[in-house]
Structure 1
Amino acid sequence: MKSVKLDDFEVERFMNITRNLHHEKPHQYEQVRIKDNGIVFILYNSKKLVYNENPQTVDLLSLIVNKKRTLCNKKQKTPNNSACNIQSYTYTIGSDETGKGEWFGPLVVCAVCTSQSENHKLQQLGVKDSKKLSLNQIIDLYHKIEKLGIKHEIIALKPFSYNKLYAKFKKDKKNLNHMLAYLHSKCITNLLKQLNTHDVVIIIDKFDSKKMNEYLKIDPEIKVIQESNGERYTPVATSSIIAKYHYEKILKEIEKRYNINTKKTKIEDIDKNILDKVAKTHFKNVQKYLK
């Protein structure tokens, strides 16, 4: 299934051209639902039109959509948020995580929901991948993002909680990617519950598409994009900044409480009795030390 955002004139043309096709009862948030001999159209209240790639459907669509515009294509990619299949949605949800590759400190997963106008404001602030920012820049941007009131969901697992959850997944013969998919899905679905529309596209910084699809149980009509370097999209970059801010904040709390500097202290210098409270114990260097 593909989609395109219609303008008022195109909606009117759509209504006229499809009036003799078989109409089904619209679902929630839908204005029109058509299924007729392989032709499928779903028009949402937001004016987003979802359609199948049946040749007859495409022929009808060419009569509806302004020929000067390009229909959104899943393979189209352009820098930042300029891909048409991103701009054609009312909301964009982006998710990212920080801390999965560090043996010390927490794991923080964050998902952000933005409108197109909020994306523009975030771009003006200078939001970009947190890996390209200094810690001071991250702190400054985080507070500016907070002032904008951007919808977001965070799951921050301190090492003790992380280790318990990881052990649970391992017991079920699952790995870290299963756990990440579960956490990302939880943040994303919590955001979706706050929206009164399905006119949203979800962008996830790709780590394991198969496992993500296994855990993300949402309406199949909602578009999900999993891309490497997903931080090029403003909502994902915003998630990376929020996640990194909370990661550093929690890490500082851990270091203060246990009187250690995880970035300078060797693992052998940490008391084994507190290791599960400061470190991710399934990491090979931690396992080696614990033996």
Structure 2
Amino acid sequence: MNSLTLILSPEQIATLGATYASYTQSPPPHATLRLKVDGLSITAYKSGKVLFQGKGIEDFIQKNHLEQSIDATSKKALEDSTLPEGFATWSVIGSDEVGNGAYFGPLTVAAAYVSKENIATLKAMGVRDSKDMTDDQIKALVPKIKEAVPYKLLTLWPEKYNEVRQVKNLNEMKALLHNQALRLLTEKLAPETPEAYLIDQFCKPDLYYRYLKGQDLVDKKKTYFITKGESHHIAVAAASMIARCAFLDGLDSLSAEYGYELPSGAGANVDKAAATILKHGGMELLGKVAKLHFANTEKAKKLL
């Protein structure tokens, strides 16, 4: 996706202008705002239309919580994957990530293999969409999932995340982690092989494979992408719960190590916590617990 036009409210445009004040440029005729952020050009017009051009559009939209402004046509482009009939009964390796929308804590990616013989077992255990469960429920259930099915978990801690983020956008990072988790779990299963791979879709498949150019891949012919993957196969639900538990444990671990309560998410309470850390430890300390490219960093500086 090299260009995208959204309709944003005056408040949303004003928020972008305030958040990225240091990235403003002179707007063209009929425009009210022009931003240049890491190779991405953003132009807001008086009509409310906002044109995004360049690299990292999906990354920027996700980071600034603008997904709800994407129109039906653009959403369909991201949700056009289909699965074969009876897919939910197949033996599948599913993968999902957690933490990409949270300012504090790691980015975690998990892959889980659920054979057709194990599907009923996981359903009986209560494995389902982790968004419908409390954190305590997830933490209680994940050890049982880990005993029941093979899995692979990868954790990218904030300090390393910020280093990699200098040269790769968020979706590229996620693609590399998903692919690595899928490959490592496939190797672990050998000689048994899954009937398919299902990735909880975060970008279009052609873009995913573009990010992975030169990398060893799992079988592309057996790989599927779909949004809300946890509702299409229990393997993705299991992977999502494993990744969620690892993210929560990572958040707790960082809080204990550095002595600050690190809330999840990216709201106002996160800005205040970041400002406190900035005040006492500066950007060096903040970079050990937070994803610095989020808008929360600039908001925390303003709070100081």
TM-score range, shorter chain: 0.5 to 0.7
SS of alignment partner, residue 186 of structure 1: helix
Q: Are the counterparts in 1 of residues 93 and 194 from structure 2 also a CA contact under 8 Å? A: no
Equivalent position amino acid for 1:281 in 2: L
Q: State whether structure 2 residue 198 is matched by structure 1 residue 203.
A: yes
- In structure 2, do the counterparts of structure 1 residues 153 and 185 end up closer, same or farther at CA, with 3 Å as the change threshold? same
Q: Are the counterparts in 2 of residues 200 and 222 from structure 1 also a CA contact under 8 Å? A: no
Specify which structure has the higher proportion of helix. 2
Q: TM-score, normalised by structure 1?
A: 0.65
Q: How does 1:33-182 map to 2 (within 5 A)?
A: 75=82, 83-87=85-89, 89=90, 91-148=91-148, 150-169=149-168, 175-182=169-176
SS of alignment partner, residue 116 of structure 1: coil
Aligned to 1:218: 217
Q: Are the counterparts in 1 of residues 182 and 218 from structure 2 also a CA contact under 8 Å? A: no
**Structure 1: gaps of 5 or more residues:** 1-73, 78-82, 170-174
Q: TM-score, normalised by structure 2?
A: 0.62
Aligned to 2:34: none
Paired with 1:192 and 1:223, the residues of 2 have a C-alpha distance of: 12
Equivalent position amino acid for 2:172 in 1: H
- In structure 2, do the counterparts of structure 1 residues 199 and 240 end up closer, same or farther at CA, with 3 Å as the change threshold? closer
Structure 1 residue 165, shift from structure 2 partner: 1.8
Paired with 1:164 and 1:76, the residues of 2 have a C-alpha distance of: 36
**Structure 2: gaps of 5 or more residues:** 1-80, 264-268
Aligned to 1:247: 247
What are the Cα deviations for residues 107-158 of structure 1, in whole angstroms up to 9, with x where unaligned? Answer: 100011121111211111010111110111101111211232x111111111
Structure 1 residue 221, shift from structure 2 partner: 6.2
- In structure 2, do the counterparts of structure 1 residues 220 and 254 end up closer, same or farther at CA, with 3 Å as the change threshold? closer
Q: 1:188 aligns with which of 178, 182, 186?
A: 182
Paired with 1:177 and 1:75, the residues of 2 have a C-alpha distance of: 21
Q: Are the counterparts in 1 of residues 129 and 230 from structure 2 also a CA contact under 8 Å? A: yes
Structure 1 residue 235, shift from structure 2 partner: 0.5
What are the Cα deviations for residues 75-123 of structure 1, in whole angstroms up to 9, with x where unaligned? Answer: 567xxxxx42443x4x300000110001111110001112111121111
Structure 1 residue 159, shift from structure 2 partner: 0.8
Identify which range, 250-259 or 262-271, moves more after superposition: 262-271
Equivalent position amino acid for 2:240 in 1: S
Q: State whether structure 2 residue 268 is matched by structure 1 residue 268.
A: no
Identify which range, 213-222 or 121-130, moves more after superposition: 213-222
Q: State whether structure 2 residue 299 is matched by structure 1 residue 280.
A: no
Equivalent position amino acid for 2:111 in 1: A
Equivalent position amino acid for 1:160 in 2: E
Q: Are the counterparts in 2 of residues 199 and 222 from structure 1 also a CA contact under 8 Å? A: no
Structure 1 residue 218, shift from structure 2 partner: 3.3
Q: Alignment identity in percent?
A: 30
When the two chains are superposed, the root-mean-square deviation of aligned CA atoms in Å is: 2.2
Paired with 1:162 and 1:190, the residues of 2 have a C-alpha distance of: 20
Q: State whether structure 2 residue 234 is matched by structure 1 residue 229.
A: no
